[in-house]
Amino acid sequence: MIELGRQAKDVVTDLEGIVVGRCRYMNGCVQYLIKGKMREDGKVSSEWVDSQQVIVTGPGILVELADITKRNAAMEVVPSEAPATRPLHATGGPHPDAPPT
């Protein structure tokens, strides 16, 4: 498993950047989100890559988990201004109050 924050490269597309995400699907497939450096046009490339295509190329920008937890704890949570207009129902069909389609 590759740690988030490591510098990595997709050996198929040659995209090199920082691993900023990891996803494991129900079928067992693991993918990593590699975010590249900003290009001259100001855009940043990023792509989800199968784990078999990813190699670690450097230490990257590892951030201590304690630092992230501390920063997140300091964030203020603001409740939504708009309350729900009707109660939510379980999925499995149209909402009883929904207009006909």
> What are the boundaries of each domain within the chain?
7-64
Q: Is 50:31 a contact under the CB 8 Å cutoff?
A: yes
pLDDT at 39: 87
DSSP alpha helices (H): ranges in 1-101?
65-73
> pLDDT, tens digit, for every residue of 15-73?
999 999 999 999 999 999 999 998 899 999 999 999 999 999 999 887 665 566 666 66
pTM exceeding 0.75? no
